[in-house]
Chain A
Amino acid sequence: MRYSGFKVIKEALTGHRGWGPAWRDAEPKSNYDYVIIGGGGHGLATAYYLAKQYRQSRIAVVEKGWIGGGNVGRNTTIIRSNYLLDGNEPFYEFSLKLWEVLEQDLNYNAMVSQRGILNLIHSDAQRDAFVRRGNAMILNGADAELLSTEQILRRYPFLNVNNARFPIKGGLAQHRGGTVRHDAVAWGYARAADQHGVDIIQNCEVTGFRIEDGTCSGIETTRGFIGAKKIAACVAGSSSRLMTKAGMRLPIESHVLQAFVSEGLKPVLPGVITFGAGHFYCSQSDKGGLVFGGDIDGYNSYAQRGNLPVVEDVCEGGMAIFPVLGRVRLLRMWGGIMDMSMDGSPIIDRTHIDGLYFNGGWCYGGFKATPASGFAFAHLLATDTPHETATAYRFDRFARGCMIDEKGMGNQPNLH
């Protein structure tokens, strides 16, 4: 079924009886060409591009719970491509370009909203760094504009530009950045993948890998053995937990990142603002809630909930630049588990086990990467060569000394 304005009117007039499920709840078959582990944004995108772009078939996505129940349902929905380094920026710009055509491509309303993202500047040194980053973005085909404090105040008159410690001295804007309805990304990819014949198998947890003579020939699951020529792990947040079953240790620590939503307000915040120096960023959802977050808690965790010191820290950051927040009540908060990698950048690569492929290490930047991650991982699976925008995301970059460390923090995952 194709969604359209005409279809909406027709269904409205006929009692909404003709919609039907958006995807099949498939039963596992005994054998596939490709099995993708993880029915989140990245796994479903991988399946979709594998089927559509690379014209592969006999594809399954296995998910231990329900699709979209992991980090694609637990993020702050921001898209952007404001990176500095060569290994990253072309990839994230490719992702942003895919976001721009996503809804037409999937025939699904994912509420992609290019409302713009603004990184605030507080010092001369930070301005120099942001000018450099903006130039790197422009050189890679992205958009970037340096704004003065006056230009910022025109759009965000409520910002406290005279904070004693962090006065706002300008900002780096990416007008093509914005937000997307996160759940709709999972559902849109699921529906589109299903229409290309992909089996989406829910409530099917991987319990082990069948590996003989260095080759992986399938997965053991709670719903039986599923054989496959190529097995693709796409479970960021649980990567170490899964890959341990294949005997692998990863350059990853799992950390919890908290996020918050306020009660619904009338439109107040037209774009996304980030206050990196104070560990706070914020946007307003279409329902009216202010969606905001800050840093990871900083210790290994699989708990999907954090602790109060970070809540206090994030709210202090918010109050420093956005004082009207003080009148707003917090509605909900949650934690998501991040694959924090050793250099703050992801991995899309083959493993040393034939037939087993890995996608993970997204730190807290996985949501914006969803389309490009799926596209690049599908490229790797179909062709056994890395996609041109993802050539740097290799396992061996740590041993080779080719880290992609945007912040220059070194091998300390909780600092990225």
Chain B
Amino acid sequence: MKLSSFILRRLILLVFVLFGVAVLVFLLTRAAPGIDPIFAYVTPNTPSSAYPVIREQHHLNDPLYVQIWYWFWDVLHGDLGYSPSAGMPVSMAAAIFFPATAELTIAATIISLSVAIPLGILSALKSNKWQDHATRLFVMTSSSMAVFWLGLMLQFVFFYLLRVNGLPSLPPAGRISPDVLVSQSITHYTGLNVLDSVLNGNLPYLVDSLSHLVLPATTLALVSMGLTARIMRSSMLEVLGQDYITMARGKGLPERVVIYKHAFKNAMLPTTTVVGLSFASLLSGAVLTEKIFAWNGMGSWAANAALANDTVGIIGFTLVTATIFVCVNLVVDIVYAILDPRISY
């Protein structure tokens, strides 16, 4: 009951934050030099003779405070303009690219957490022993590696080397094999291939999309797990020194309960913040990883738009990304409030 009113309050606040974001984005579209706002309302095929009419139609000759009103109206109706680099309206591009990125991000986060959290705990329990040094070395190495190099190396080993030796290999690029796409038809409920194939009960589609997910998700996970593991290690070490851990041992609890119940939940608090932040930044698209693995997601779209001078695309991307960040932060705050009863809401 208390929690639901907290969520409601945060949702109301969310509206104001998004309003602020939208105002900033609008001002960017109007303030940046060389950007004609009309680009949002034309496609490459629109004859330039039609421009004055379009300008009039979209109130682009009116003062800014009138324009912002119409712009908001459009945004609320999902009309963020036309992105030439994507070859479609911004809203449609976001609806296509975001699920792809979300799928990659979720997979990467699952891999990263399931490796980083146990490693962080191990590292803390065996602090300054060889297990700790090995873990820290591994984590430091993987997260210091350049993502494009790591991605290419994974492709080289798990696609090229396996394939030339006649072994089963992992697909190096794309989200689905063309032959599967042709032979299997599924209904896309969410745009997340793995989830959709499960909902459709289509096994070949599931296996194929999972195999495409492995390499890019692993690349992202390897790079992002370093921070998580280190935060987990340090917060676990801090918690293990707390009085209530002595108390838990003093009560005669088995060591596994002391660590995986009493210490773990407390150590997860700072880790949650870090995981939330890295999740949000991954959701806004991992440009290099998506490029290397030809994964058509938010990152690829943003990179293409920037290269093609597609300001409308970039502004649309900015607005979508800001919204994602705000929403993920909200989720992190809620998780935090559930984990830590001391947070008053």
Q: Do A and B bind each other?
A: no
- Residue numbers of A with Cβ under 8 A of B are none
